[in-house]
């Protein structure tokens, strides 16, 4: 064996010995709403195997994702997460997460649950949601930061007017905390779904007319630029 081949074998053995193996870790996940006027509905924070996901950009939304994105209902996604033995925390904020506010979820992962996903509806929107999809959870202790974008589920036209939150029902749900923040009498921005796949949300259009116009969204407050959330992940062993 040549000296160069021996060196390669020794280097490979050293790297193999220092490789980080997947194992159970304690995880603290802090989610901060970075927007000025957008509320997050109850969040679902999950750790699962890397071959699973709550959503995929460029693919059609599942019925469970649609229910979350159009009405803030995470129960279907909770059931799906339990079916794949995910570790999760549902609704860590105990309701809506207000603009600039933060909430924290803590859990211990199973050895194989090394991917982190987070979802929650954005209000006011028709089918917008904040999302993190299968982010690899570091296996070394430390604090890590990731920024999240807003996505459009592609299941409802962005008409930007008051309506229902049931899947397939037009319009935006307006829970009591937003009642006085949303306009009325809008004629609707559009009735067309331009992209029926999960995609980056184009953002709210809104207008300045709280008693009419096209949109019931305030264009000076309830618009955003990505990212919409900051996630701080603290891993301990």
Q: Are strands 39-40 and 128-136 parallel, antiparallel or unpaired?
A: unpaired
| Mean of per-residue pLDDT scores for the chain | 92
Let me know how long the chain is. 237
Phi, psi torsion values for 10, nearest 5 degrees? -65, -40
Q: For the residues of 111-136, what is the DSSP string, one character each? A: TT--EEEEEEEEES-SSEEEEEEEEE
CA 6 to chain centre: 49
**Residues 118 and 107: beta-carbon distance below 8 Å:** no
Domain boundaries, the chain: 21-236
What is the tens place of the pLDDT at every residue in 17-39?
444 567 889 999 999 999 999 99
Residue 149: other Cβ atoms inside 10 A: 15
Q: SS3 for 146?
A: strand
Q: At 3, give phi and psi (nearest 5°).
A: -65, -35
Tell me: the pLDDT tens digits for 108-130?
Answer: 999 999 999 999 999 999 999 99
Confidence bin at 10 (pLDDT 50/70/90): very low
| 163: Cβ contacts below 8 Å, ≥ 6 apart | 169, 170, 171, 172, 173
Give me the percent of the chain exceeding a pLDDT of 70: 91
Whole-number Å distance between alpha carbons of 34 and 32: 6
- pTM of the predicted protein model: 0.90
State the Cα angle at 27 between 16 and 43, rounded to 5°.
130
- The C-alpha atoms of residue 42 and residue 119 are separated, in whole angstroms, by 9
Architecture of domain 21-236 in this structure: Sandwich (2.60)
Helices (H) then strands (E): counts for the chain: 3, 10
Per residue in 182-236, pLDDT tens? 999 999 999 999 999 999 999 999 999 999 999 999 999 999 999 999 999 999 9
pLDDT tens per residue, range 173-197: 999 999 999 999 999 999 999 999 9
């Amino acid at each position: 064996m040549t000296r160069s081949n021996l060196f390669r074998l020794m280097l490979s053995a050293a790297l193999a010995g220092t490789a980080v193996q997947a194992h159970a870790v304690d995880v603290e996940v802090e989610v901060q709403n970075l927007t000025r006027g957008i509320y997050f509905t109850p969040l679902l924070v999950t750790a699962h195997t890397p071959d699973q996901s709550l959503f995929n950009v460029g693919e059609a939304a599942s019925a469970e994702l649609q229910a979350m994105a159009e009405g803030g209902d995470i129960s279907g996604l909770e059931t799906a997460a339990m079916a794949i033995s995910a570790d999760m925390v549902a609704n860590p904020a105990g309701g809506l997460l207000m603009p600039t506010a933060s909430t924290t979820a803590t859990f211990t992962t199973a050895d194989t649950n090394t991917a982190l996903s987070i979802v929650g509806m954005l209000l006011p929107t028709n089918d917008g949601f904040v999302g993190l999809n299968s982010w690899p959870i570091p296996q070394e202790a430390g604090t890590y930061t990731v920024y999240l974008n807003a996505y459009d589920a592609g299941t409802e036209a962005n008409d930007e007017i008051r309506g229902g939150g049931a899947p397939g029902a037009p319009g935006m749900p307006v829970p009591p905390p937003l009642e006085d923040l949303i306009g009325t009498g809008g004629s609707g921005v559009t009735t067309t779904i331009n992209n029926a796949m999960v995609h980056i949300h184009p953002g709210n259009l809104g207008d300045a007319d709280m008693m009419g116009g096209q949109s019931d969204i305030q264009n000076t407050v309830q618009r955003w630029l990505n990212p919409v959330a900051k996630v701080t992940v603290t891993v301990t062993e």
